[in-house]
Amino acid sequence: MIYHVTTEQQWQHALSDGFFEEPSLKSEGFIHMCTTEQIAGVLDRYYKNMENLLLLHVDETKLHAELKLELSASVNQLFPHVYGTINLESVVKTESIQL
């Protein structure tokens, strides 16, 4: 299982579009994901004081797009990156995040 933090609004767009996409797909070529152990650090670094957050639980075996583990030099950790849109059937659970 891999995870992605998003907003309720972005998830609602995905439900109407039929797939999930982030701006980083256009700007960087992939969607940032994380492992269970990396969730807290991601929330702390990028989502402080934000509301209406959701954690997408993504079954990587159901992804249609390519998945790569790549080094993030800023924290010296390997992170999963999805090189394409995330098909909705790979999202097996959404979970509200309370910070």
What's the whole-model pTM score? 0.94
CATH (domain of 65): 3.20.170.20
* Three-class secondary structure assignment of the chain: CEEEEEEHHHHHHHHHHCEECCHHHHHCCCEECECHHHHHHHHHHHCCCCCCEEEEEECHHHCCCEEEEEEECCCCEEEEEEECCEEHHHEEEEEEECC
Residue-level pLDDT, tens digit, the chain, 99 residues: 999 999 999 999 999 999 999 999 999 999 999 999 999 999 999 999 899 999 999 999 999 999 999 999 889 999 999 999 999 999 999 999 987
- Partners of residue 58 on adjacent β-strands: 2, 91
d(CA 79, CA 32): 8
Identify the domain containing residue 79 by its residue range: 2-97
6: its two tokens = 């998003």
Counted domains in the chain = 1
d(CA 19, CA 32): 15
